[in-house]
Structure 1
Amino acid sequence: MPMYYYLEEEDIYLFTTVGMKTHDIDANPEICLQVEEIHGPLHWRSVIVNGRASRLTEHSDIDRAMHLIKERNTTLSPAINRTWIDSEGRSEAIAIYRIHESEISGRTTDGVSSQQEPI
């Protein structure tokens, strides 16, 4: 499921609008996050984080996480624009999660072959 994210030291924050993703995460908070950086077919890096997502509920935590996420992702319009409630306009129904990492792994290529990356 595509989502916006922000990494801050040990914390990973996820942003999305309320819908099927939030329903699924709330029902089963054990998640896997994959982040890729691709420069070409033989030049890429990938990190996979397995962990447990907890939804932020305190307004101060939500505001802080949203500020961090917006710093990295200057436009959140693709996710927000899809959240329409009726002809009157859009709902600001957002959800922010913090991932508590349990396992992390990564791979990278050097232009010829891929290898495990120490994380």
Structure 2
Amino acid sequence: MNIGKLKLSDALTILHECTFGRLGCISNDEPYVLPINYYFDGKYIFSHSLPGLKIDAMRSNPRVCLQVDQIRDPYHWRSAVAYGHYDEIVDPQLRESVMAELFKHIEQMTPVESKMIGSSEKMIVYRIKLTEVTGVGEEW
């Protein structure tokens, strides 16, 4: 077994190839981690949410991270962590184009996303501007 750091290019490849990760943020001075669907354009990670604890947390403390992994089995895996800052997208045209692109990357809507149809005025669209990307893997 050989666990080691990934090259930046490999960590970025993981972010590009995946559409599901775990968002880490701070809520009421406590770590808060939850799954999200996303897409990565090489500069920003884009996602969306209905209002709630996650959005409140990111508005209060915009420093966030996203952990994404690719797992073949317990001995063959790679993981990338992207660090950055939350930025809420309020421009209506940009929101619409981000959502269209997001749904191109997601094969099937989750139950929560299905409920968002017709309630786009409530939906929060955001991006994470990356400040650092790291990666680690085992025997990939």
Letter in 1 for 2:62: P
How many angstroms apart in 2 are the aligned matches of 1:56 and 1:19?
16
Give the structure with higher Rg (CA): 1
1:77 matched to which residue of 2? 110
Matched residues in 2 for 1:18 and 1:75: separation? 21
The alignment covers a number of residue pairs equal to 105
Say if 1:53 and 1:107 are closer, same or farther in 2 by CA, change over 3 A. same
Which range moves more in the overlay, 37-46 or 71-80? 71-80
Equivalent of 1:21, from 40, 54, 73?
A: 54
TM-score by length of 1: 0.78
Pairing partner for 2:93 from 60, 67, 76: 60
TM-score (norm 2): 0.67
* Pair 1:96 & 2:128 matched: no
Letter in 2 for 1:105: T
Alpha-carbon distance in 1 for matches of 2:106, 2:81: 20
Q: Following TM superposition, where does structure 1 have runs of at least 4 consecutive aligned residues deviating by more than 6 angstroms?
A: none
Equivalent residue for 1:5? 38
- Alpha-carbon deviation of 1:50? 0.8
Q: Structure 1 residues 91, 63: CA separation in 2 closer, same or farther (over 3 Å shift)?
A: closer
Paired residues of 1:18 and 1:95 also in contact (CA < 8 A):
yes
Name the Cα RMSD after superposition: 1.9
Q: Which runs of 5+ in 1 are unaligned?
A: 84-89, 112-119
Any stretches of 5+ residues in structure 2 without a counterpart? 1-33
Q: Give the drift of 1:79.
A: 2.3
Identity %: 26
